[in-house]
Amino acid sequence: MKNVTLENECISYENPNEPCTKWEYDKTVFWSTIVSEFDLVCQRSWFSSVAASSYQVGYAVSAILFGVISDKYGRRFALKISIYLEIVSGFSQAFSVSIYHFLFSRFFLGIAAFGRFFTGFLLIFECFGKKNRAPISAFIEFGWLFGKLIMPL
């Protein structure tokens, strides 16, 4: 068998339809979603993945940024900054007027959320001795566990 290049390509996978200009969304479960708010369908569907990725990239940036801030200026200062940034970026995300504004706000929300968790976790750890760190960390994470346990109910 030889490699053969055909002059005529298969067109059975091409979409002969016209692209849609208006979308109608089912709003029986959710009144508004990121997809319906910014029409993230077809050629724009990749934006929803970028929104999740921008939040995670914000987490990664925050690990470095708030580590330096909390060491240089103190844990309380870093915690205050992260809480203020989380409030501002949360409101900014809620009232986004474009997908780019949403992605930008989502990135800073990721920075602020992890900064708050990271700095708060370190602050609590430093208040207790090495002996009590394991039970304290288990207690802090119990909220997540409890939420996941009652979710199916």
Q: Tell me the mean pLDDT per 10 residues along the chain, length 153.
A: 54 60 71 73 78 92 93 94 96 91 94 93 85 85 87 84
Q: What is the pLDDT of residue 87?
A: 97
pTM of the predicted protein model: 0.72
Dist CA 91 CA 112 (whole Å)? 13
Give the Å distances, CA to CA, from 109 to 15, 72, 82, 90. Answer: 39, 22, 9, 6
Give the CA angle between residues 51, 57, 98 to the nearest 5°.
30
Question: Encoding tokens for residue 153?
Answer: 């109910």
Give Cα separations from 87 to 39, 67, 83, 106, 117 (angstroms): 26, 20, 6, 12, 14
> What pLDDT is stored for residue 70 in this prediction?
92
| Rounded distance between C-alpha atoms, residue 49 and residue 40, angstroms | 10
Distances (CA, A) of 110 to 55, 56, 86, 147: 5, 6, 8, 21
The whole-number pLDDT of residue 18 equals 64
Q: What is the pLDDT of residue 72?
A: 94
- Contact by Cβ (8 Å): 127, 75: no
116's tokens: 């708050």
Q: Are 66 and 79 in contact (CB under 8 A)?
A: no
What confidence score (pLDDT) does residue 83 get? 96
